[in-house]
Structure 1
């Protein structure tokens, strides 16, 4: 157990420990990556639940995935205010250990096809813990770096942790097809749409992360330290009197909500969009690519935003997302080639929303001092985490056309506000 740091000022090289700062980034990033794996475990399992014996409608499946976003967004609001209260070491250790709860819940659920729908919804809400911790850990990292390096550090942490959304969807098909962990549970006979049968071990999709989560929990307790940044909730509440907090909330909601919402629903949305097209690509098999593309673009865009201004990157990002969303709103695939065009447009959106996640985070680091900046990063990421819920709700109740239309309007608003306040020659808050 290492003592907390008594003197810490990242802007003064003599009072800044770069090694500790990056150790915090990497352990927090691993925690967040596995958190995103727990969060997106539900989207990776949902398309296969009916195959193993569940009887869920399209609407129920959309809502099941949406519940994860509802939980994550709500928990992020709580986690936003925890960093200066608990300290980094306790916060990261506690947040990582909590991930074991939803992982064990889904180990149970997939082996009991008689599990009631309301219990599945409860397990989905618990999976939101994996997304809920993001706001606290990102806000905490904000304390560890000087202003000119925060964009890159937060870009690395946010981008690589976002990688977990694609990682779990990539790993799940690889691990559910073998019985290496058969001693930890029996297989499930799956009836595929083409009439074939296959044995799955869906519990492996959760088991594979459990030892890694346990390891990061232990390492966080042993190697992390807390810095002297303290505040109560009332002091952090001051951010809500600043107009930039609300602008950044809209910006991050538009970018992360679209990234996470489409990442969670891509497999189901693609399956329904391609229904009836013989030879269509498998959206389930390719769903992992979108989040990975967005995660990687976020890592690179953080450093670019530090160099050329986050506001300029946000302008470019908003224009590119408007183009992509309008294309998806208008385009309806009718052939195999059309399905691939639809997927390419979708991956275009993932790329640019990842860029926007980084550029808006960099803008927050410039607009706010460290304590307020941490709270703003946490708050905006909390609202952004509602993306899987709002997008899932729109898909379930209104359809894909309405969902793409609403998302387009959000990016139009982002573009207008960003140019006026942050990215024109005489902008009042050029950043």
Structure 2
């Protein structure tokens, strides 16, 4: 990478005004100029940040729509296995991770505001499909897989939103701005997991809201978020801006794939954001499998996931801007290193709590089918089941605290890793010419564009964790779902040890260039 940037980079062309699409374009944008920032830049950047957060928030909610609804499908009359439900949770994350690349490259091509309008309107498709098919329990599983895949468009919103906001803020404020933008989006996960059970007529809010006697109405959530997506498109259209300074050709952005730090940071982001989105998607099913039993929709015992599943995403979202702030203050690499130490400790603690659980007896499938067909034939829970579930419920608070500790670490790591990326690229630009020279100015401008591209690539690769984690939990090669979940946490802890070593080797190793510039 040094050899690529050490020669004076070419100035990226700005499209002439006559060649641009219509819309709210800003031609002169100099956030690093203190006078410009105080007089003009700050207010404009803040306005774009606010509405970017709103659109990204809805994107995350739609992206994780299936994380909570999958756990409710059996109550709505769908006969899906735990492995199938984990696939419904995982597939949107896979599609969302793949879409993050084109969404990132779309911002310099079409403009941040224009793409925000388009990406918001795209959310109407998965929400209306959801609303239509959750009313039809006879729908084949493969159709639900396709429908769940369309929710991946919500995952793409993050990449375009972050790439756009990166251009609006000066380097000294990028960590906080990107942290706030990402946190607002991440909160969409917590919001959908908290409110969806309540909206559709289920229990929620720690039991303060009781389940509707008329049953679940899952389609309500789809219609609501389709309407909100239209609102997000309108607010982006009227209140956001495109920046001419962000213009770049896709091939210029793709040039960052040859830099080693693009892939190092992408790998680390799998450990932070991949863990956040993967655990968030899987948490409702994790609680249901380990701490809850409901052989028929009208009878249940144990911990209701709807009361607690949203807490993980909430904690991870709230701590994300803290990670950006800590990285601004102490250095992104140091904060990221500490994050992986915390994640190792937290993951092993979660594993330990799971080893303390008792095995809950499960009735034969034919009996469950008979009880479901005729609920009055259900004899009630046996003393063995009641004893095991009560014991596991006593373990649940320790499981929850340990898991929330992991979520807090992922949030901080999300903020710190994204703070590292602009600094890494700016550090190479500082090698080009003396301060104030045209060569230095061109290099710094190019570094901002390349950093935005890397943010998108890292976001895409990192989001793959949202697919891999639920699949690891489901482990179709393991017959017992509880054993599969327990073993998965050992795999994750080992992975975090590798992330810890990579962080030290590339960004904290004594006398290395990245250590000297304080990445």
Same fold (TM > 0.5): yes
1:24–1:141 contact (8 Å) kept in structure 2: yes
Of 151, 170, 174, which aligns to 2:198? 174
* Aligned residues of 1:162 and 1:291 also touching (Cα < 8 A): yes
Q: How far does the alpha carbon of each residue in 1:312-359 deviate from its partner, in whole angstroms, 9 at most, with x for none?
A: 111111100011112223432432221221111111111100000000
Query: Are 2:223 and 1:207 equivalent residues in the alignment?
Result: yes
Matches within 5 A, 1:266-285: 266-275=283-292, 280-285=302-307
Mapped to 1, the partners of 2:172 and 2:401 lie a distance apart of: 35
Q: Which of 237, 245, 254 is the matching residue for 2:254?
A: 237
Q: Is the aligned partner of 1:319 residue 2:397?
A: no
* Larger CA deviation: 407-416 vs 141-150: 407-416
Given that 1:2 and 1:223 are in contact with CA atoms closer than 8 Å, whether structure 2 keeps it comes out as no
Aligned to 1:383: 461
Out of 32, 41, 50, the position equivalent to 2:65 is: 41
Cα distance in 2 for residues equivalent to 1:378 and 1:15: 27
| Offset, 1:9 | 2.1
Identify unmatched segments of 5+ residues in structure 1. Answer: 179-191
The 2-side partners of 1:81 and 1:357 are apart by 21
Q: Structure 1 residue 208: deviation in Å?
A: 2.4
The DSSP-based 3-state class of the residue aligned with 1:207 is: helix
Match of 1:287 among 296, 309, 313: 309
- Distance change (3 Å), C-alpha of 1:276 and 1:37: closer
Question: 1:28-76: per-residue Cα shift (whole Å, max 9, x none)?
Answer: 1100100111111111111111111111011111111111111111111
Aligned to 1:394: 472
Residues 75 and 129, structure 1, Cα contact 8 Å, conserved in 2 = yes
Contact kept? 2:24, 2:240, Cα under 8 Å: no
Deviations 1:90-115 (A, max 9, x none): 11111111111111111111111122
The structural deviation recorded for 1:271 is 1.2
The match for 1:412 among 497, 504, 511 is: 497
Q: What residue number does 1:221 align with? A: 237
Q: Do the aligned residues in 1 keep the contact of 2:70 with 2:85 (CA within 8 Å)? A: yes
Q: Is the 8 A contact 1:70 1:385 kept in 2?
A: yes
| Larger of the two Rg values belongs to structure | 2
Deviation, 1:427, is 3.6
1:359 corresponds to: 416
Whether the 8 Å contact between 1:160 and 1:299 is mirrored in structure 2 is no
2:6 aligned residue: none
Question: Is 2:298 aligned against 1:298?
Answer: no
Alignment coverage as a number of residue pairs: 415
- Written as runs of structure 1 = structure 2, the 5 A alignment for 1:61-140 is 61-140=85-164
C-alpha separation in 1, matches of 2:122 and 2:225: 13
Aligned residue for 2:30?
Answer: 9
What is residue 184 of structure 1 aligned with on the other side? none
Q: Give 1:307 shift.
A: 1.1
Q: Distance in 1 between matches of 2:466 and 2:414?
A: 15
Query: How far off its partner does 1:143 sit?
Result: 0.8
Calculate the TM-score normalised by the size of structure 2.
Answer: 0.77
**Which residue is 2:401 aligned to?**
344
For residues 423 and 284 of structure 1, what CA distance do their matches in structure 2 show? 41
Superposition RMSD on alpha carbons, in Å? 1.9
C-alpha separation in 2, matches of 1:403 and 1:160 = 29
Provide the C-alpha distance between the structure 2 equivalents of 1:51 and 1:197, rounded to a whole number of angstroms: 13
Instruction: After TM superposition, list the pairs within 5 Å mapping 1:189-204 onto structure 2.
Output: 198-204=214-220
Q: Distance in 2 between matches of 1:285 and 1:50?
A: 18
Q: What is the CA–CA distance in structure 2 between the aligned matches of 1:422 and 1:386, rounded to whole Å? A: 23
Q: Distance in 2 between matches of 1:402 and 1:281?
A: 22
- Which of 255, 264, 270 does residue 247 from structure 1 map onto? 264
> Which of 400-409 and 71-80 deviates more?
400-409
> CA shift at 1:246, angstroms?
1.1
CA distance in 2, matches of 1:299, 1:66: 26
> Deviation at 1:216?
1.7
How far 1:3 sits from its partner (Å)? Answer: 3.6
Q: Is the 8 A contact 1:2 1:224 kept in 2?
A: no
Is the 2:293–2:301 contact (alpha carbons within 8 Å) kept by the matching residues of 1?
no
